[in-house]
Structure 1
Amino acid sequence: MPDILNVSAYKFVTLDDPAPLREHLFARAGAAGLKGTILLATEGINLFLAGPAPALRGFLDEVQADPRLAGLPVKESWSRELPFRRLLVKVKREIIRMDHPTIQPQAGRAASVDARTLRRWLDQGHDDSGRPVVTLDTRNAFEVDHGSFDGAIDWRLARFGEFPAAVQAHKSALEGKTVVSFCTGGIRCEKAALYLREAGVTNVFQLEGGILRYFEDTGGAHFHGHCFVFDEREALDAKLTAVRPFD
Structure 2
Amino acid sequence: MSAFKDSLAPIPARDAKPFSSWSLPQFCVAETALISDQDAREEAVKAPVIDEQALQALRDKAYQEGFTQGEREGFAQGEQKAKEQAEQALNSRLSSLQSLMQALFEPIAEQDQQIENALLDLLQQLSKAVIRRELKMDSSQILPLLREALSLLPIGADNLHLWVSAQDFAAVKAFRDHHNEHWRICEDPDLLPGGFRLESQHSRIDATIEARLEQAFAQIAERQREQRLHPPATDLSISLSPINEEGKPWASDAT
Task: Name the TM-score class by shorter chain.
Answer: under 0.3
Q: Which has the higher helix share?
A: 2
Larger C-alpha radius of gyration, 1 or 2?
Answer: 2
TM-score, with length taken from structure 1:
0.15
TM-score, with length taken from structure 2:
0.15
